Amino acid sequence: MSILSDAWDYLTTAQNWTGANGITSPTFDGGWRFSRDSILGLGLEHLWLSVAAVVLAIAVALPLGIFLGHVRKGGTATVVVSNVTRAMPTLALLTLFAASAIGYGNQAVILAAAIFAFPPVLTNAYTGMADVDPDIRDAALGQGLTRRQVALKVELPLAIPLIAAGLRTSMVQTVATVPLAALVAGGGLGVIINEGLATQRYGQVLAGAVLVALLSLGIDAIMARLQRAATPQPLREAAMAA
């Protein structure tokens, strides 16, 4: 299998990891960017794009989901949002953004990826808050807690396992989506795949695919740990069973 050995060669060549001129390279305006010929640089860029997208999504989706779940309104709307984004091709958003005022490159990528990172966070925050046992809410209100305290001190801790699961899904999904960035001149590990396709070096394509898959699995493992750590002790067994 020449593709397999080509992929192996690609992955075992030191210069492919460090780049010909280091992990970062200077830009014309005096700044710097990740080198497009370094696996390490592209990997870091991949992580940065994914994290930026997910943070952007969290900033909007988490408060919104927590609020909507607390007041138990807008359930249908959250379902509609997640269904529409599932039908929306990533390529469509990327090309639309690239052709708009946002332009080519990483900005379009972060925005598009953020939109796809949005629904899992929103729906899980909503469901987690809305599905808290009504008796528990009543008991908390009866004890004299304000609605705000009920939301933040009773419902939120009970919703944490689901919220954490949503963040995990969102993050892993984003890491696997970001490779498409290479099609609109963005960075990340997709560049390796895209370059391989363009030059018909399929070993390099395989190497790129393996790198992305490993990164996704690694992120998933880390997120699983965080999810466990964030879940209050008494809820852990229930969360594992679910």
Partner 1 sequence: MDSVPNPWFSLDYLTRNWSEVSEQLWIHTTLTLQAVLIALAIAVPLGIAARRIPRLAGPIMGTTGVLYTIPSFALFGLLAPFTGIGRTTVLIGLVAYALLVLVRNIVVGLQGVDRDVVDAARGQGYTSGRMLWHVEFPLALPSIIAGIRIATVTTVALVTVGVVVGYGGLGQLMFRGLQSDYRAQIMTATILCLALALVFDLILMLVGRALTPWTRRRPA
Binding site for partner 1 (CB under 8 A): 3, 83-84, 86-92, 95-96, 98-100, 172, 175-177, 179-180, 182-184, 190, 193-194, 196-197, 200, 202, 205-206, 208-209, 212-213, 216-217, 220
**Least distance in Å: CB of 242 to partner 1?**
13
Instruction: Give how far the C-alpha of residue 93 lies from the chain's centroid of Cα atoms, to the nearest Å.
Output: 16
**Least distance in Å: CB of 26 to partner 1?**
27
Distance CA 115, CA 25 (A): 30
State the amino acid at position 49 in one-letter form: L
Distance CA 178, CA 187 (A): 9
C-alpha gyration radius of the chain: 21
**Least distance in Å: CB of 43 to partner 1?**
14
Report helix, strand or coil for 94: helix
Nearest to 231 by CA among 164, 137, 179: 164
> Can you read off the two tokens belonging to residue 92?
């469509």
CA atoms within 13 A on the CB side of 186: 33
For partner 1, which is the closer residue by CB, 132 or 180?
180
For partner 1, which is the closer residue by CB, 154 or 180?
180
For partner 1, which is the closer residue by CB, 8 or 202?
202
Instruction: Give how far the C-alpha of residue 139 lies from the chain's centroid of Cα atoms, to the nearest Å.
Output: 37
**Least distance in Å: CB of 227 to partner 1?**
15
For partner 1, which is the closer residue by CB, 105 or 157?
105
**Least distance in Å: CB of 165 to partner 1?**
14
For partner 1, which is the closer residue by CB, 89 or 134?
89
Residues 6 or more apart in contact with residue 193 via CB below 8 angstroms = 179, 182, 204, 205, 208, 209, 212
For partner 1, which is the closer residue by CB, 68 or 206?
206
**Least distance in Å: CB of 35 to partner 1?**
21
